[in-house]
Amino acid sequence: MSNATSPKRVALIVASTRTPRAGPAISKVALGVIIPLLPAHITVTVVDLMDHPLPLYTADPIIPAGIARPIAETAYADPATNAWSALVRSFDAFIFLTPQYNWGYPASLKLALDALYHEWAGKPALVLSYGNRGGGKAAGQLRQVLEGSAHARLHARGRTRFRPRT
């Protein structure tokens, strides 16, 4: 039975997939700030979207919100999406670390979100953004998506802005 000190797994999702990119370095800074604040039963794992490429044009005939639960290991048509589903299901909460590109968050993150539905639902999320001007526009858009119809039960609980020194 789950209680207040049951082990909890948090994914810190690195959304940028460019080469070169600032995301991994900023994730280390974020971990250095976050981990000392957490009780021992909460662990944070970095999940780099670069390591989890997903199909842009999917042949899946059903939308993720229509997937039957419990979600089968082969629920999705694409093996990469099934692997992504299993990984996201294994976490209890998410920290989205997103850069700002042209006032928005990257397509890689939208694809990662839209590939699934129930795997995110009802789990708390924190948005961390960065960019030349702090990434506030990207964070605002991401919060809207997390709070909106597609992920209605995924709650954005806070936001921190990073502005890397140049």
> Which DSSP helix (H) or strand (E) runs through 145?
helix 136-147
Q: Which is nearer to ligand FMN, 79 or 164 (CB)?
A: 164
CB of 16 to ligand FMN, least distance (A): 3
- Regarding 23 and contact with ligand FMN (CB under 6 A), the answer is yes
Q: Which is nearer to ligand FMN, 71 or 95 (CB)?
A: 95
Tokens of 99: 């850069």
Pick the piece of the chain touching ligand FMN (CB under 6 A) from 14-22, 36-44, 68-76, 111-119: 14-22
CB neighbours of 77 closer than 8 A, spacing ≥ 6? 58, 59, 60, 61
Pick the piece of the chain touching ligand FMN (CB under 6 A) from 42-50, 51-59, 72-80, 99-107: 99-107
DSSP classification of residue 55: -
* 19/46 Cα distance (integer angstroms): 18
Residue 163, classed as helix, strand or coil, is coil
- Draw the binding track, 106-135, toward ligand FMN (x: CB under 6 A; -: no contact): -------------------------xxx--
Q: Which is nearer to ligand FMN, 6 or 103 (CB)?
A: 103
Least Cα distance to 124 among 151, 162, 160, 86 occurs for 151
Q: Which is nearer to ligand FMN, 121 or 162 (CB)?
A: 162
